[in-house]
Amino acid sequence: MNDYNTTAQSQNDDRTIAMLVHLSGILLGFIVPLIVWLIHKDRPEKAFLNDQSKEALNFQITLLFVYIIGTVLTIILIGALINFLAWIACIILSIIAGLAANRGEEYRYPFAIRLIK
């Protein structure tokens, strides 16, 4: 296999993994994005995968904060609505992000606290 085919296959693999990183947030939260980012953060040839795993990680950390706030606010009954809306946003935005990553586009979530830079 020549270098071009190897590079193209590597980029395709990175796009697939980036898609899975975004979609994994629906069920597993920040665990998968954190693992992928820690594995690839020091590898410049994995820039796209590194960028997308950081973006997914930041979004999942933001959602974790929202879930905590929602849980605290269940005392006044609005917390259940907040958690439900956060869960719906997680599903929809993670699917949109996964599809964009699979196309090779760098996706940015509309709301995310960017703690990991």
| pLDDT (0 to 100) of residue 1 | 46
Let me know if residue 107 belongs to a domain.
no
Let me know if residue 108 belongs to a domain.
no
Let me know if residue 111 belongs to a domain.
no
Let me know if residue 94 belongs to a domain.
yes
The structure's pTM equals: 0.86
| pLDDT (0 to 100) of residue 50 | 93
Let me know if residue 117 belongs to a domain.
no
Q: 90 is in which domain, residue-wise?
A: 3-102
| pLDDT (0 to 100) of residue 92 | 96
Number of domains in the chain: 1
Let me know if residue 72 belongs to a domain.
yes
> Mean pLDDT, 10 residues at a time, over the chain (117 residues)?
58 90 92 93 90 95 95 89 95 96 93 85
Residues 5 and 27: their CA atoms lie apart, in Å, by 34
Let me know if residue 54 belongs to a domain.
yes
| pLDDT (0 to 100) of residue 8 | 67
| pLDDT (0 to 100) of residue 7 | 66
| pLDDT (0 to 100) of residue 55 | 94
Let me know if residue 26 belongs to a domain.
yes
